[in-house]
Amino acid sequence: MEQIVDLQNDPAFQALEVSVISVAFDSAEEQSQGIIEYGIQDTPMLVDADHAVSEAYEVLQWAVGTGEPGHTFILVDANGNIAWIQDYGHPDNRGVMYVPVDELTHEVSSHLGE
C-alpha cells in the first residue's frame, strides 16, 4: 500500500491526471486497516474476492506462489482498452512489490494517448 501513498503524493505522477484504483484479493477489512495505517486518500480500494477482475485483465498469468496477482499495473484508456500493462511482482518480472514512482510516471506518461 506504500506504493499507492507514494503515487498519490508525487506531484509528477499527479500531473498525469490518471485515476489510480487498487484491485486486490484482500478482504474489505484488511484493506480498511491498510487505508488507515498508510493514510490512503482518494484511491478506491476494490475487493476482487471472486477473482473476476484479475481474470478479465489476465493478470493471473503472473500469479505468485499463493495464486494471487503479483504487482501489476494496467493503464486503461478512455474507451476501456488496455493501453499498457506491466507486472513487476512475478519472479520473471523482477519480483518486486514496489516500483520507483519516477519509473511508473515515465511508463504511464509514455503510454498516454496511444
Helices first, then strands: H and E counts in the chain = 5, 4
Mean pLDDT of the chain: 94
Instruction: Give the number of domains in the chain.
Output: 1
Percent over 90 (pLDDT), the chain: 85
Cell 490512503 belongs to residue: 40
CATH number of the structural domain spanning residue 15: 3.40.30.10
Report pLDDT digits (tens) over 51-69: 999 999 999 999 988 888 8
Structural domain containing residue 25: 2-111
Three-class secondary structure of residue 73 per DSSP: strand
Which 8-state DSSP code applies to residue 67?
Answer: S
Radius of gyration of the chain (CA): 14
State the average pLDDT over residues 39-45. 93
Report pLDDT digits (tens) over 86-96: 999 998 999 99
